[in-house]
Structure 1
Amino acid sequence: MSRPFPGGLEHSTHWQNVLQQLKAVIPSAITALVMTFTSWQFAVFVCVVFAFYYLPFVRRLQVYVLIAASLFFYGYGQPELLPLLVVAVVGTWAFLALSIKRSRAWTKYGIVFNLGLLAFFKYKFLFVATPVATGSAVSDFLLNLPLPIGISFFVFHNISLLVDLPKQGRAATVWEIFLYVIFFPQLISGPITQARNFFPQIQEKQISKVPFVEAARWLVLGYFFKLYCANNLNEMTSYMAHPLFETVKTGDKWLLIFLYSFQIYADFFGYSSIAVGLALLFGYRLPDNFNRPYISRSIAEFWRRWHISLSSWLRNYLYIPLGGSRHGPARTYFNLIAVMGLGGLWHGAGLSYLVWGLMHGVLLAVERPFLDKLDSVRSPALQALRAAMVFLIVSMLWIFFKLPDFGQAASYFAGLFTESTVQNPPKIYRTLALAYSLPVILQHLILPHQPQGAWARAIEPFAYGALVALAYAEAGPESAFIYFQF
């Protein structure tokens, strides 16, 4: 099915050429660097590892099988960065051992070590330009290494490890740490699993205890939301990029920010669901990462429902250590804004990410004194209005997430309130937008009212079969998972 261009671009040969050039010269480098969850290579990889993992003579070696599989998965596109992964894990293990056997001060040194790795690879280009030539072969090699995929996630895992295990007085082998940090379903984009929840699960697994039905549900949902919803919406929201958004009518700019809200949810929910399903196949349970965030009635509730594993990590390892809400309102508001600002920078070294995080922090602080009073009002109309306002605000702030260049993001934001004379898109464009957004909308609105009983269980396989058919027959063009870049 051909997709028409929004904003009348189907009538503009010039902009069609611009779009094709952008797609040609900016290929999905991230997709090329990893064995993506949606590739046939990954399907073969999982089948081979699964078949070998549950062989009787392998049972005592299952941890090592998963470590080897995870190293292969990570090194498939970036073998030169495998030593970094090994250094990060072994270094964290060494600091953990010193913290448990000698002094808790080593925990702080271990955290600094991990944050140093993150800062060097993710934020060095705030201070140096690329390509870099220093005259030293070693420094040139290090400075020109690409950003390791998933570094933000495995650094957060390392910090959780350093904080949790010393409190429990629990030692860990280097192999257990390797598995916790690099377990391939969660290695690239989470969910961020806290050490206290993962380590008790490291034990021999039996295929008879695998919840195949539950795993299949998660996998079908994940692939459906990624292939059918996110990939198709990605084709439309490509017009949010500069300079294409300058050719889009004001009303369609608004439409695109809502489509991006649905896309980023479908994309990340899809990844998280696939990760949960894969982990279940190997006997591990990862945390749920989403709980219908777009029905939230406050920004605070949104962050309890969106990227739950990140919100929990920021609360437990940053907000509470900073003092949380224990030192009066002013300190509480500062902590909220500071934590969310750092959370924004965690996503990327750019002013747009910082602004996105700070704005969420400011909104958390502004709404905090009024939440109890608002929550006490039982009016359904008021609650619906609150949810609509939160969705509108969150969607508008996604602009700074979608466009890491702050100037471009500010220009798009301003364009929402400036009338444009560009021709309206044809109606079929809006029809397609609704078709690919509808699953997200329905999931948020009907989940609490799912039918129960024998008849519902009887039709469930057919419903999931329909999702598989749609994902296969109407999958959008291949695109990298959005959170791969973090």
Structure 2
Amino acid sequence: MVFSSLFFLFYFLPATLAIYFISPQKLKNIVLLIVSLFFYAWGEPVYICLILFSALVDYILGRLIEKYRRSQKSKWLLVSSLIVNIAVLAFFKYANFLIENINVIFGIELTYLNLPLPIGISFYTFQTMSYIIDVYRGRVTAQRSFISFAMYVTLFPQLIAGPIVRYELIESQMKERMINFAQFSDGVRFFIKGLGKKVLLANNIGLLWVEVESTALSELTLAMAWLGIIAFSFQIYFDFSGYSDMAIGLGKMFGFEFPRNFHYPYISRSIAEFWRRWHITLGSWFREYVYIPLGGNRKGPIRMYMNLLLVWMLTGFWHGASWNFIIWGLYFGILISLERAFLQKVLNYCHPIFQHFYFAFFILIGWVFFVFEDIKMGWQFLGVMFGIGENGLINPKFFYLLFANAILLFIAFVGSLPRPQFIENIVQRNTFIEAFIYFVILLFSTAYLAGASYNPFLYFRF
């Protein structure tokens, strides 16, 4: 089940809210646990056992780590938890990747497992790992109630694709949370805004990318290739940030305050700034639990660059079990290392327009590595983008696609920027205008979902 579906909007969510608000305070966590398991089971009922297993293991080990915190046992309990979590993630997400590479290297034919990837496994595994590490560090108190801990792990608003909500951020909210009208209204606004991003922008501009991607390489021109990857960059942004906004909005409706996951990343002037604005919770997770423990920048420049490359390789691998994701991660690791070494100092002397151009150029190239799991196809697409071969510059199909999608591209561009302050002031002063805008977004989103067959969710596989 996804948020951008009619069943979720008009059946699951209203029923869940009704049951939740009529339930007494002491039962609210168990209500959320039950509806979250139902939400998860809608797509993959067999993997309920897996997510509950992960929750049970880390619940028990968290209690034991706290009990033996002052002894050597706590370290071994921490290691045991990390091994279990990483092993489960590796088995379901990376086993076939390992088998494929063994077959290629040794010329054998090991059988693939062909197991479906458990939805959201990368997200909830990272959450339980951060919980265990924080218990070991003494930053949080081990949760006493298994019901409450299992609710945290399976909480449906952020289960499928984040944001990655670390336990310490909502520890107090799990015990007691009060919901007022302002918070609930704010949650509704976040949710409708995210729904509009996903349904009206990401889905529609994604059709442009599909059209370009499905074009035979011999018919693809330089201009079409750039137009296509620009369309994909907007699609993945509105797709993922829209889902994150919906998750944050749902969290508010149930009394939780989830962290922000996107902050207008396409206004960045460097690659490092982009990653401070894009998928913020993932970046902070890797910084807190991988980069800093490795030594960060405290052990000299060579060690720092090695740490950066390792973290970014892991970031890429986290996104998918394919070499293109590893290349994508290392690509950003190299760029950020260059910015740390000297490039950022050069950029600081440049005009902001050049800084934005630099960022846009390299981020679009990065999306090519990301979107093409077939590395050969990705390189061929890049070749067309840079005029390698005899594909030509422009053809009639480019003009057709450009003019047919010009308004949508303009709206996507404007939608990726912060709203001007004077518009913000007008909307905030006039609640009727604001309510009307959100009503129209909900109405058009619902109408689209009622008749559309194209409604992918790009981060579902991660």
Is the shorter-chain TM-score for this pair beyond 0.5, marking a shared fold?
A: yes
TM-score normalised by the chain length of structure 2 = 0.89
Answer yes or no: is 1:362 the counterpart of 2:334. Answer: yes
Q: Contact 2:66/2:74 (CA < 8 Å) preserved in 1? A: yes
Matched, 1:224 2:196: yes
Distance 2:44 2:176 in 1: 30
Q: 1:387 to 1:477 in 2, by over 3 A?
A: farther
What amino acid sits opposite 1:160 in the alignment? S
Following superposition, the deviation at residue 37 of structure 1 comes to 0.9
Q: For the residues of structure 1 that align with 2:122 and 2:217, how far apart are their CA atoms? A: 30
1:199 equivalent in alignment to 2:166: no
Residue in structure 2 matching 1:51, options 9, 12, 18: 18
How far is the alpha carbon of 1:433 from its aligned partner? 2.7
What count of residue pairs does the alignment treat as equivalent? 438
**Following the alignment from structure 1 to structure 2, what is the Cα–Cα distance between the partners of residues 282 and 445?**
29
Distance in 1 separating the partners of 2:435 and 2:447:
18
Distance 1:423 1:306 in 2: 34
CA, structure 1 residues 187+478, in 2 after alignment: closer, same or farther (shift >3 Å)?
same
CA displacement at 1:334 relative to structure 2:
1.1
Asked if residue 400 in structure 1 is aligned to residue 374 in structure 2, the reply is no
CA RMSD of aligned residues (A): 2.3
Taking structure 1 as reference, are residues 240 and 96 closer, same or farther at Cα in structure 2, changes over 3 Å only? farther
Q: Is the 8 A contact 2:296 2:307 kept in 1?
A: yes
Q: Summarize the Cα distance change of 1:450–1:274 in structure 2 as closer, same or farther, 3 Å threshold.
A: farther
Alignment partner of 1:291 is 2:260: no
Are 1:61 and 2:30 matched, yes or no? no
The amino acid across from 1:366 in the alignment is: L
Contact 1:344–1:356 under 8 Å retained in 2: yes
Shift in CA distance, 435/104, structure 1 to aligned 2, threshold 3 Å: farther
What does the per-residue CA deviation read over 1:340-371, in whole Å, with 9 as the maximum and x for residues that have no partner?
11100001111100000000000000011336
Deviations 1:26-74 (A, max 9, x none): xxxxxxxxx111112212111111101111x532100000001111100
CA distance in 1, matches of 2:219, 2:146: 55
Change (3 A) 1:180 1:456: closer
Structure 1-normalised TM-score? Answer: 0.84
1:80 aligns with 2:46: yes
Indicate the residue corresponding to 2:455 in structure 1.
Answer: 479
Counting aligned pairs with the same residue, the percent is: 35
Separation in structure 1 between the aligned mates of residue 98 and residue 36 of structure 2, nearest angstrom? 33
Match of residue 357 from structure 2: 388
Q: Aligned partners of 1:436 and 1:109: how far apart in 2?
A: 51
Higher mean Cα deviation, 162-171 or 322-331? 162-171
Alignment partner, residue 108 of structure 2: none
Q: Deviations over 1:53-104 (max 9, x none)?
A: 111x532100000001111100112111111111111111122122111233
- CA change 1:154–1:240 in 2 (3 A) is farther
Q: Distance in 1 between the 2:427 and 2:57 partners?
A: 55
Query: Partners in 2 of 1:410 and 1:363 — Cα distance?
Result: 19
State the one-letter code of the partner of 1:413.
L
Q: Write the deviation string for residues 423-479 of structure 1: whole angstroms up to 9, x where unpaired.
A: 321645213433223333213444253435467522323333343344345566432
Instruction: For residues 8-30 of structure 1, give each alpha carbon's deviation from its aligned partner in whole angstroms, at most 9, with x where no partner exists.
Output: xxxxxxxxxxxxxxxxxxxxxxx
- Cross-structure match for 2:106: none
Instruction: Give how far 1:335 is off.
Output: 0.9
Residue aligning to 1:127: 98
Sort the Cα spacing of 1:449 and 1:462 in 2 relative to 1 into closer, same or farther, 3 A. same
**Structure 1 residue 241: Cα displacement:** 3.8
How far did 1:209 drift? 5.2
Q: For 2:163, what is the secondary structure of its paired residue?
A: coil
1:196-345 matches, within 5 Å, as: 196-208=168-180, 211-241=183-213, 244-345=216-317
- Compared CA separation, residues 373 and 241, structure 1 to 2 (3 A): closer
In 2, the alpha carbon distance for the partners of 1:280 and 1:184 equals: 13
Tell me by how many angstroms 1:210 deviates. 5.9
1:106-128 CA-partner distances (Å, limit 9, x unpaired)? 11221111011111011100233
Change (3 A) 1:398 1:37: same
1:287-306 CA distances to partner (integer Å, 9 max, x unpaired)? 11111111111111010000
